[in-house]
A and B are shown apart, each in its own frame.
Chain A
Amino acid sequence: MQGTPQPRATAASNQPGARAKAAGEDIWKNRTDKINAELFTLTYGSLVAQLVKDYEDYAEVNTQLDKMGYNIGTRLIEDFIAKSGLTKCGSFVETADVISKIGFKMYLGITPTITNISQDQKEFSLILEDNPLAEFVELPEDAVRDGLWYSNVLCGVLRGALEMVLLQVECNFVADVLRGDEVTEIRVRLVKVLDEEVPAADE
């Protein structure tokens, strides 16, 4: 039988949030090879521009970005686990904390705020104050009108990465400052915990 999953990194602490924050900052500062953020931003912009050219349809661009993100997420999770040394999260709310304070910090150097946790604790929002993907970006009017979510790759990454740790989620943007909204907000909803894990050892 599987016992209650216990997160290794936070089990010893009463304040998992603070612990995760410190861990995220430590990894970012001391164990991350870095690159000029501008090169990263411009490269992403170049990808979005190419997709717009290839598909001539903003809804399809959203889909493609999500797909590419998913592919990235499924590979990124290994890198994430290897670098963070984390095992399992005790709850979905704790998962949210790890995503924001360690995941986003490790890869993008930012820590989104977690808000609007639903009553059943299966949904939360990530508010991105500083979105490095969207720096310098101004969307043309028709892209706003036709519903382009410029940073949609992030939703795919979250979906892919979480699926690899057996959390099936739905993830989408609900607001973006690039579209004139007040904030940039990603909504994440736990659909179900997948059940295909091989027991770690005979118990």
Chain B
Amino acid sequence: HTRGLEASLSAFSFLFSEMIQYSQKRVAGVADLEKRLSNFGYRVGMRELELTLWREKNAKRETRVLGILVFINSTLWKSLFGKVADSLQKSNDHDDEYMITDNDPIILKYISTPKELSSFNAGAFLAGIVEAVLDGCHFAARVTAHSTASDQFPSCMTLLIKFDKSVMQR
């Protein structure tokens, strides 16, 4: 039983950074690299969803878009990072797009990106986690990570969630 148990953030960061470097040797460009990281996250997300549902709410799955988003924003974030995500917003321009923002993602704390890879966002790993959770609850979506850094929050990251047509139609 690992609930509430902790590992050191440095151990995680060493591992994570090695995973990025491993992936980097096998990809053609930034998009590929992010895809690989997202795959890493996807496998984590699938399992974390099972664990979280099993613990939190009698294994009931969300059926409404807003319900699942709130679940990710609060319950999932809490069980992964010990805190609720900083914001959940609906896009003004597109009905099928939502955004979850973390001002200071803990897993990126020790990850720095060299200049030549400045468009790369290691948050792709988180995007993969969220995509798996959505998939696991039958909300097909594409999730991408974007840096939304500001002076106040230099590592701020936003996940853009774009739902599949099939989800929006029901």
Contact = CB atoms under 8 A, between A and B. Distances in A.
Interface of A: 28, 32-47, 49-50, 54, 64, 68, 71-72, 75-76, 79, 106-109, 132, 135-136, 153
Interface stretch (B61-69, B77-85, B147-155): B77-85
29 contacts: A32-B8, A32-B9, A33-B9, A33-B109, A35-B8, A36-B79, A36-B82, A38-B2, A38-B3, A38-B5, A38-B80, A39-B81, A42-B44, A44-B15, A46-B41, A46-B43, A47-B19, A64-B22, A71-B21, A72-B14, A72-B15, A76-B10, A79-B10, A107-B11, A109-B8, A132-B5, A132-B7, A135-B2, A153-B15
Given A36-B82, A38-B51, A135-B2, 6 more contacts: A39-B81, A39-B107, A42-B44, A45-B44, A72-B15, A79-B10
B7 A34 contact: yes
Nearest to A37: B5
A49 B15 contact: no
B18 A72 contact: yes
Contacts of A34: 6-9
Contact of B7 (A47, A49, A108): A108
Contacts of A35: 6-9, 12, 81, 106-107
Contact of A38 (B15, B18, B48): B48
A87 B14 CA distance: 22
Interface residues of B, number: 33
Given A35-B106, A109-B5, A132-B2, A40 B18 contact: no
Nearest 10 CB-CB pairings of A with B: A33-B9, A37-B5, A40-B7, A34-B6, A107-B11, A46-B43, A42-B44, A37-B7, A72-B14, A35-B9
Contact of B44 (A33, A37, A43, A75): A43
Contacts of B16: 43
Contacts of B11: 40, 107-108
A68 B18 CA distance: 7
Interface of B: 2-3, 5-12, 14-16, 18-19, 21-22, 26, 39-41, 43-44, 47-48, 51, 79-82, 106-107, 109
Contacts of A106: 8
A42 B107 contact: no
Contacts of B21: 71
A36 B12 CA distance: 10
A40 B80 contact: no
Given A36-B81, A49-B43, A71-B21, A76 B14 contact: yes
Contacts of B15: 40, 43-44, 47, 72, 153
Contact of B12 (A39, A50, A135, A153): A39
B84 to A, nearest CB: 14
Contacts of B40: 43, 46-47, 50
Contacts of B14: 72, 75-76
Nearest to B52: A38
Contacts of B18: 68, 71-72
A42 B19 CA distance: 13
Nearest to A40: B7
B43 A37 contact: no
B124 to A, nearest CB: 13
Nearest to A33: B9
Residue among A41, A43, A72 with the most chain B CB within 10 A?
A43
